């Protein structure tokens, strides 16, 4: 029997019998760090950073949970200079849940929470094809304009002596968002 979906923006949005979406809790921080680490594609923040994110940015982030615990997340924040813009920091889905459209469902939930959010932004490196496709699909489904431009050139990041070379970060700006 399929679960009854709850209204977007509620404390616990049940997607099906196995996965539900909610705001992160402090205790989720370690699992968000693990999922990010295991993705092998995200810039990994410190475990402290993920715990702090769960405390300070829970209203602009979402965690997907199944019976085993967190299985995906989107972290975001409202840009101080543009409070109608939700900036998506990271999107990650655990290996066991990839390919099920979970990242897209988490983005949909996050943007549905507050109709005052008119724009969605994220930065994506040119080599991250999966993320580019996710945000392109999101914009298409919403009938929104998607504007891309380089935001952070590669030379802003530490060089090969300190870190593997970093690709430039391309800003994806989507909006205005429509229901």
Above pLDDT 70, what percent of the chain? Answer: 87
Which residue in the block uniquely carries the two structure tokens 């489904």? 141
H-helix or E-strand spanning residue 124:
strand 119-124
pLDDT value at residue 28 = 97
Say yes or no to pLDDT of 158 above 90: no
**Averaged pLDDT, 5-22:** 60
Spatial contact of 93 and 64, defined as CB atoms under 8 Å apart: yes
pLDDT value at residue 73 = 98
Above pLDDT 90, what percent of the chain? Answer: 75
Start-end of H helices in the chain: 29-39, 47-56, 102-112, 129-142
pLDDT value at residue 3 = 40
Say yes or no to pLDDT of 129 above 70: yes
Cα distances (Å, whole numbers) of residue 148 to 104, 124, 141, 161, 177: 19, 10, 17, 30, 16
Query: What are the pLDDT digits (tens) for 51-102?
Result: 999 999 999 999 999 999 999 999 999 999 999 999 999 999 999 899 899 9
How far, in Å, CA of 153 to CA of 99, rounded? 31
pLDDT value at residue 163 = 65
Query: What are the pLDDT digits (tens) for 15-52?
Result: 556 899 999 999 999 999 999 999 988 889 999 999 99
Domains, the chain, in order of start with CATH, read 12-175 (3.40.630.30)
């Amino acid at each position: 029997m399929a679960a009854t979906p709850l209204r977007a923006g509620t404390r616990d949005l049940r997607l099906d019998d196995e996965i539900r979406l909610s705001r992160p809790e402090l205790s989720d921080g370690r699992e968000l760090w693990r999922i990010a680490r295991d993705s092998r594609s995200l810039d990994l923040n410190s475990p402290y950073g993920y715990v702090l994110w769960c405390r300070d940015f829970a209203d602009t982030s979402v965690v997907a949970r199944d019976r085993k615990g967190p299985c995906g997340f989107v972290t975001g924040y409202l840009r101080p200079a543009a409070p109608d813009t939700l900036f998506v920091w990271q999107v990650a889905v655990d290996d066991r849940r990839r390919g099920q459209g979970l990242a897209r469902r988490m983005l949909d939930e996050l943007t549905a929470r507050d109709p005052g959010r008119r724009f969605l932004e994220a930065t994506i490196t040119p080599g991250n094809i999966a993320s580019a496709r996710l945000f392109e699909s999101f914009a298409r489904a919403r009938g929104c304009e998607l504007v891309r431009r380089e935001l952070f050139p590669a030379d802003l990041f530490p060089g090969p002596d300190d870190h593997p070379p970093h690709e430039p970060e391309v800003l994806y700006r989507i909006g205005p968002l429509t229901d």
